[in-house]
Amino acid sequence: GDVAVLVPAAGAGVRLGPGRPKALRPLAGEPLLVHAVRRLAAAPSVHTIVVAAPAAEVAAVRALLAPVAPVTVVPGGAERQASVAVALAAVPAGPEIVLVHDAARALTPPELVESVAAAVRAGHDAVIPVLPVVDTVKEVGADEVVLGTVDRSALRAVQTPQGFRRAVLTAAHAAAGDPLTDDAGLVEKQGVPVRCVPGSEYALKITRPFDLALAEHLLATGG
């Protein structure tokens, strides 16, 4: 394998409701993070996995993942971007492709990991999995009055894993300013073209209670 995967898993998961940090919430009896790491480790290209865990849970996460796959666990930061930066700094010499994958996308198939890595290997410096946007999207003002309708055909919903040539991601994080919600955003600011590949509905981000229920159903029916 020539791929390192960074897994930011240090978020609180406020939108899921009260409880443990999101990555440690159970899905079919196992934490989201266990599901996510198991699928990453099943992708043949993956050589190294670095997880950014909530600072108070580093030892617990190490123990939790030890039977799943060989992983490095580091304490995450206050923002997703800081958690990714800490994990990136912990990647050993070797892998020249780095993927960043949210723990919350617990059912991401290994095939998607492979297809993102393959696109980087084929020469794209930055690669993101995307899906078409099915809803009509409108921009709305502070008073909840519509300002305008966006051309849906030009929009994509962006998932993870996002893949990068290692030097490109390292440079983007070194130059990073205000925190963004994804890593491709940092790379875009560097003027690097970001290539889209088809995403997977199974890579949904488990964010709200409805998503957790959907994920339980997908697992129960063979997802």
Looking only at residues 119 through 158 of this chain, which bind ligand C5P when binding is defined by CB under 6 A?
none
Q: Which stretch binds ligand C5P (CB under 6 A): 97-105, 166-174, 190-198, 215-223?
A: 97-105
Least Å distance between CB 52 and ligand C5P?
5
Least Å distance between CB 179 and ligand C5P?
9
C-alpha–C-alpha distance, residues 45 and 23, integer Å? 24
Q: Measured over all CA atoms, what is the biggest interatomic distance in the chain, rounded to whole angstroms?
A: 52
Considering only 3, 4, 11, 24, the residue that binds ligand C5P (CB under 6 A) is 11
Q: Is 53 within 8 Å of 9 (Cβ atoms)?
A: yes
Considering only 5, 6, 22, 98, the residue that binds ligand C5P (CB under 6 A) is 22
List Cα–Cα distances, 58 to 21, 35, 71, 162, in angstroms. Answer: 12, 18, 12, 24
Looking only at residues 190 through 219 of this chain, which bind ligand C5P when binding is defined by CB under 6 A?
207
Q: Is 113 within 8 Å of 43 (Cβ atoms)?
A: yes
By beta-carbon proximity to ligand C5P, the closer residue of 11 and 95 is 11
Q: Is 108 within 8 Å of 39 (Cβ atoms)?
A: yes
Dihedral sign from CA coordinates of 184, 187, 188, 194: negative
- Burial grade of 60 (CB within 10 A; 0-12, 13-18, 19 or more): middle
Mark 162-181 with x for binding to ligand C5P (rule: CB under 6 A) and - for no binding. Answer: -------------------x
Least Å distance between CB 161 and ligand C5P?
12
Q: Does 9 bind ligand C5P (CB under 6 A)?
A: yes
By beta-carbon proximity to ligand C5P, the closer residue of 8 and 95 is 8
- Beta strand pairing call for 97-100 and 162-165: antiparallel
Considering only 6, 16, 23, 68, the residue that binds ligand C5P (CB under 6 A) is 23
C-alpha–C-alpha distance, residues 115 and 199, integer Å? 9
Looking only at residues 46 through 85 of this chain, which bind ligand C5P when binding is defined by CB under 6 A?
52, 76-80, 83
- Which residues are at the interface with ligand C5P (CB under 6 A)? 8-11, 22-23, 52, 76-80, 83, 102-104, 181, 207
